[in-house]
């Protein structure tokens, strides 16, 4: 069987941020940044951690630029991009139960 979605080509981008939310201005800035991530198709993994899967390194670069444009003035934002192969190694727990990390699929059926 021919491999169609290569685990070495597909990339995952994790955006982790720590933004001040003391004043209402800061809260607003943080909210705008979060919504921007959602508009780009990022899902929330945990509070302040968003992730998204991408077809290739080149596409990841494009997203990186789009995020950079909207990074708030204060606070820190860390962005990590890894291959699907590396992402596979993640061990996830919900409660005490092990769960599988989300899979990349070519076809979503509903």
Partner 1 sequence: MIDGIVEIAEDGRYLSVYRGFLVVADKEITLGRVPLADISALILSANQASLSKNLMVALAEQSTAVICCGKNYLPTSIALPYSGNYESGHRVRSQINASRPLCKQLWRRLVQEKIRNQGEVLSWLDIGESSRSVAAMERRVRSGDPDNLEAQAAKRYWRVAVRPGFVRDRFAEDENLLFNYIYTVLRAAVARAVVGAGLLPALGVHHRGRLNPFSLVDDLMEPYRPLADSVVLELCSEAEPVELTPKTKRRLASVLRLDLKMEKGRSPLCEVLHTLAYSLVQSYEDHAVHLRFGEMLLP
Kindly state whether residue 105 participates in binding partner 1, applying the rule CB under 8 A: yes
- Check residue 78 for interaction with partner 1 (CB under 8 A): no
DSSP bridge pairs for 93: 98
Taking the complex as a whole, the smallest distance from the CB of residue 29 to partner 1 amounts, in Å, to: 18
Burial of 91 per CB tally in 10 Å (0-12, 13-18, 19+):
exposed
Q: Does 54 bind partner 1 (CB under 8 A)?
A: yes
Question: Which is closer to partner 1, CB of 17 or CB of 63?
Answer: 63
Joined together, the tokens standing for residue 96 give 């005490």
Residue 53, class by beta-carbon neighbours within 10 Å (0-12 exposed, 13-18 middle, 19+ buried)? Answer: buried
Please tell me whether residue 66 binds partner 1 under the rule CB under 8 A: no
Q: Is 51 in the site for partner 1 (CB under 8 A)?
A: no
- Asked if residue 42 binds partner 1 (CB under 8 A), the reply is yes
Contact predicate 104/43, CB 8 Å: no
Q: Which residues bind partner 1 (CB under 8 A)?
A: 1-2, 4-5, 10, 35, 38-43, 52-55, 59, 104-110
């Amino acid at each position: 069987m021919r491999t169609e979605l290569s685990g070495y080509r597909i990339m995952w981008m994790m955006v982790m941020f720590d933004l001040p939310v003391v004043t209402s201005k800061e809260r607003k800035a943080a909210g705008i940044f979060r919504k921007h991530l959602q508009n780009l198709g990022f899902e929330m993994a945990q509070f302040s951690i968003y992730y998204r899967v991408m077809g290739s390194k080149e596409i990841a670069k494009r997203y990186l630029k789009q995020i950079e444009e909207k990074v708030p003035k204060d606070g820190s934002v860390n962005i990590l991009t890894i291959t699907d192969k590396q992402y596979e190694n993640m061990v996830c727990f919900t409660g005490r139960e092990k769960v599988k990390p989300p899979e990349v699929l070519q076809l979503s059926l509903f």
